[in-house]
Amino acid sequence: MVIACADSRVCPSNILGFQPGEVFMIRNIANLVPTMKNGPSECNAALEFAVTTLQVENILVIGHSSCAGIEALMNMQQDREPRNFTHNWVANAKVAKLKTKPATSHLSFDQQCRFCEKVSSVTIILKCRKCCYFGKVKTVSLNLLQESINQSLLNLLSYPWIEDRVRKELVSIHGGYYDFSNCSFEKWTLDFKECNVKEEKNSYIVKEKELWC
């Protein structure tokens, strides 16, 4: 299963060579996954169908460079409510914005957007209420990962029927990033098997990182 941006420059079938019938696909602005608590949407309805009915074994969230959805997110005023459909949607990634803004306040707006898409050498500790399934882990640095993409990957775990399958190793969660400037594609897998439950926060590690040019 692939969750990709609606941007016409991002065609997962062309980028990764998928054939008709091989991939169940969701496309939306900024390739976001809302949490379960946000209520019903086309995205989580498609997720439920793909995971529980089609029994997909892999979920890949693909982000890309120069994402207008991320720019809309970074443009939102912190103290204001979303004022239109687009802002209401990209607000699903506001945690990624909150992580990016303080660390990039000295940079230009365009550079801040790129960091939100692609963050280098950061340590991420994210909340997970049910991570007791996964045991213990040390907090580690994640290199060359996309903040907004990883937030969507974490949001996938808010759905019990995904979290349960990840715990049982029936489903794997992957991130991908397509860079228009050099036609490169990065792909990684997040490992949720080990988790630190202290203060309701979990850390995760990356494995099987690949770069295709």
Per-residue exposure over 73-89, b if at least 16 CB sit within 10 Å of its own CB, e if not:
bbebeeeeeeeeebbeb
SS3 4: strand
Tokens describing residue 194: 């080990």
Which pLDDT value is given to residue 55?
A: 97
Which pLDDT value is given to residue 200?
A: 38
Cα 21 to Cα 91: distance, rounded to the nearest angstrom: 32
**CATH classification number, 2-212, choose in 3.40.50.300, 3.40.120.10, 3.40.1050.10, 1.20.58.100:** 3.40.1050.10
Which pLDDT value is given to residue 191?
A: 73
Cα 84 to Cα 176: distance, rounded to the nearest angstrom: 28
Which pLDDT value is given to residue 146?
A: 60
For each successive 10 residues of the chain (213 residues), what is the average pLDDT? 94 92 94 89 95 97 89 74 78 76 75 63 31 33 54 90 93 91 86 47 64 74
The separation between CA 122 and the C-alpha centre of its own chain, rounded to angstroms, equals 15
DSSP codes joined into one string, 171-194: -EEEEEEEETTTTEEEEEEEE-SS
User: Residue 63: beta bridge partners?
Assistant: 177
Confirm whether residue 113 is marked as ligand binding.
no
Confirm whether residue 116 is marked as ligand binding.
no
Q: SS3 for 48-65, per residue?
A: HHHHHHCCCCEEEEEEEC
Which pLDDT value is given to residue 31?
A: 92
Confirm whether residue 7 is marked as ligand binding.
yes
Local structure of residue 76 (DSSP, 8 states): S
Which pLDDT value is given to residue 193?
A: 60
Which pLDDT value is given to residue 212?
A: 79
pTM recorded for the entire structure: 0.75
Q: Is the dihedral of CA 165, 22, 38, 204 positive or negative?
A: positive
The domain segmentation of the chain, as residue ranges, is 2-212
SS3 204: coil
Q: What is the dihedral of CA 51, 54, 57, 60, to 10 degrees?
A: -70
Confirm whether residue 5 is marked as ligand binding.
yes
User: Do strands 184-191 and 172-179 pair parallel, antiparallel, or not at all (unpaired)?
Assistant: antiparallel
Cα 194 to Cα 190: distance, rounded to the nearest angstrom: 11
